[in-house]
Amino acid sequence: MGVVGKLPIALAPGMGMNAYFTYSVVGCHLLRACIVGVEIQDNSASTRAFLAHLGLQAAEGIGAVVGDTATIVGLGACPPENQVLLVAYDDLCKDQGICISGGAYTCDGGVMTHGRTWLGILGLMIIAIGMTYRSKLSFIYGIGLITVISWFRGQYPEGTPVTYFPYTDEGNARFEYFKKVVDITGLDLIITPFTTNLANIGLALFTMLYVDFLDTSGTLLGIANSMGVIDEEGNFEGSTQAYCVDALATMIGSLFGLSTITSYIESGAGVQAGSKTGLTAVFVGFYFFIAIFFAPILSSIPPWAIGGALILVGALMARSLTKLKFDKVSHAISGFLTMMVMPLTYSISYGLLAGIGSYVVIEGICWILSLVGLKAEADANGNAEPSKTDEQIGKARMGVDEEEGIEEDPDIPAQ
């Protein structure tokens, strides 16, 4: 991406697609056929809300937002003793009492009392203050300080309330892995076996095709827009090369058993720090290579240390919302749906489908109605023309007279 596409965008296996890949492809014993599907499929304003949501929720952020059975999401940051796991109430859970949880939870009291969340908020404030003073190391300051604080375990058996290594089975396992510092994982399964039995490839092929295409499109356009390189027609220099590199990366990744490789929206953090060229992507690739050996250290960076950075990047990228044509109904509705569906469904592709689908339906129906003479009122720019009453109300609120321009206040003597 850095050498050919010349963009500061990193690539890695898509997290949303990893879930589908794990539970639907591997879980249904379709791995070999679908690995072929991964390779085949890549031959052929909203991201900022998604980023902010990542930073706010518990899995990859500060834990201020959690699941809720009544309202989908709710305020969280509760300590472990107040966390209630959300489970899939299927037949296995109902009949045999074997209930499986994906790790999501809701809070039964103790909202906004967990020290980890407040520590994450502290990191957010440190980064924000550093950015106010134009410091390019603000992200390092915030993430680094919170990470170091979280690495202290405290005295046994209580530990500190913000430690990443509590005195539990999970915490002890994390700490043992952390102490290795350097670890080289075996490569005996690095090359995935293939199969010629492609009877079950159809569904996986279609799913990974449209999800990867929409994820990549949303990320590339979102990052390019934040860099200010998109022209009036919605294109940016190097877009063709960027898509080709993304597709080639997926094809190569499939040889090693990976799900679809996609451009990562977290690249926006680098852009906000000043990244403008493909040299950033080259260094990211180099650091990824180093990370293979220092995985015990890097995997021990807690999510609440990173959440603040994601929130700030999402906030800074939100400036592009000002370019949305809110005075045109199809633009306003499609943009709003895209922005809301992404974080609520935890998927960039679903958000794009909602936005594109609603835009096509609205514009398509208006076009059909125009064929029979029912045309929507619009000005020369294609925007809905306000009624005379709306114009008069707007001028009245601004104190503007139609004939004389600015209305004089009778209480102020003429100069």
Instruction: Report the pLDDT value the prediction gives residue 384, as an integer from 0 to 100.
Output: 45
Quick check: 5 and 278 in contact, CB under 8 A? yes
Report field, pTM of the whole predicted structure over 0.75: no
Instruction: Report the pLDDT value the prediction gives residue 254, as an integer from 0 to 100.
Output: 77
Instruction: Report the pLDDT value the prediction gives residue 206, as an integer from 0 to 100.
Output: 73
Average pLDDT across each block of 10 residues of the chain; the chain has 415 residues. List them in order.
88 67 52 44 52 76 84 85 84 82 83 92 94 87 94 87 91 92 72 61 71 80 82 81 88 78 81 84 90 88 90 76 82 87 76 86 91 68 46 49 46 49
φ/ψ of 101, rounded to 5, equals -115, 140
Instruction: Report the pLDDT value the prediction gives residue 301, as an integer from 0 to 100.
Output: 92
Instruction: Report the pLDDT value the prediction gives residue 385, as an integer from 0 to 100.
Output: 44
* Residue 206: other Cβ atoms inside 10 A: 12
Instruction: Report the pLDDT value the prediction gives residue 196, as an integer from 0 to 100.
Output: 63
Instruction: Report the pLDDT value the prediction gives residue 34, as an integer from 0 to 100.
Output: 47
CA atoms within 13 Å, Cβ hemisphere of 411 = 0
Tokens of 320: 């592009």
Quick check: 93 and 99 in contact, CB under 8 A? yes
**CA terminus-to-terminus distance, the chain:** 65
Q: Please give the Cα distance from 382 to 275 (Å, whole number).
A: 36
Instruction: Report the pLDDT value the prediction gives residue 149, as an integer from 0 to 100.
Output: 95
CA distances, 165 to each of 48, 156, 381 (Å) = 31, 11, 59
Instruction: Report the pLDDT value the prediction gives residue 293, as an integer from 0 to 100.
Output: 87
